[in-house]
Amino acid sequence: MNLETEDFSYHLIRNELLQDLLGKDHEAILYWLGKSLARKYPLESVDELIAFFEKANWGQLQLVKEKRQAKLFELTGPWMGKHDSRCYQLEAGFLTQYLEQNLQRIAAGSYSASKKAVLFTIEFDRHDSIAANN
């Protein structure tokens, strides 16, 4: 493993300790923790969202496609293509909650990772309002 010094502590916590601590349910727990973080750090725009991802050292985020009932985001970072085994459920949960808050629609997020980027798909129902579920 060849990690830069400033990335080493992040790697230890993110890719080693959290998986050991959370066990077999770590992916599901990270998704819900991401949603919780988004509620604690409400953002008003995609620009703020992008800046948050950079500040959190999660990578460079970009909105790549908007559909009627989905938004697709791409995440890149210098660790990709290397020996990184992280799951991206934390980020998926954060993006899902961000869209729920800003669109006031129930949303669900998923991701697919390659060696070059992670693609997040956040789907929502235009007719399933959060207010209708409260």
CATH code (residue 94): 3.30.1380.20
Answer whether residue 3 shows pLDDT above 70. no
Query: Token pair 């969202």 is at which residue?
Result: 49
Answer whether residue 61 shows pLDDT above 60. yes
Q: Region 52-78: what's the mean pLDDT? A: 94
Range of the domain at 52: 5-133
Q: What is the mean pLDDT of the chain?
A: 87
- CB of 60 closer than 8 Å to CB of 77: yes
Instruction: Tell me the one-letter amino acid at 47.
Output: D
Among residues 40, 30, 35, 29, which one has the least CA distance to residue 108?
35
Q: Which pLDDT score, from 0 to 100, does residue 18 have? A: 84
Is the model's pTM score more than 0.85?
yes
Burial category of 30 from C-beta neighbours within 10 Å (exposed 0-12, middle 13-18, buried 19 and up): buried
Considering its fold, how many domains does the chain have in total?
Answer: 1
Residue 56's SS3 state is coil
Q: Which pLDDT score, from 0 to 100, does residue 1 have? A: 46
Based on its alpha-carbon atoms, the radius of gyration of the chain, rounded to whole angstroms, reads: 15
User: Distance between CA atoms of 134 and 120, rounded to whole angstroms?
Assistant: 27
The phi, psi pair for 45, rounded to 5°, reads: -145, 165
Kindly state the percentage of the chain with pLDDT values over 90. 61
- CB of 94 closer than 8 Å to CB of 38: yes
Q: How many helices (H) and strands (E) does the chain have?
A: 6, 4
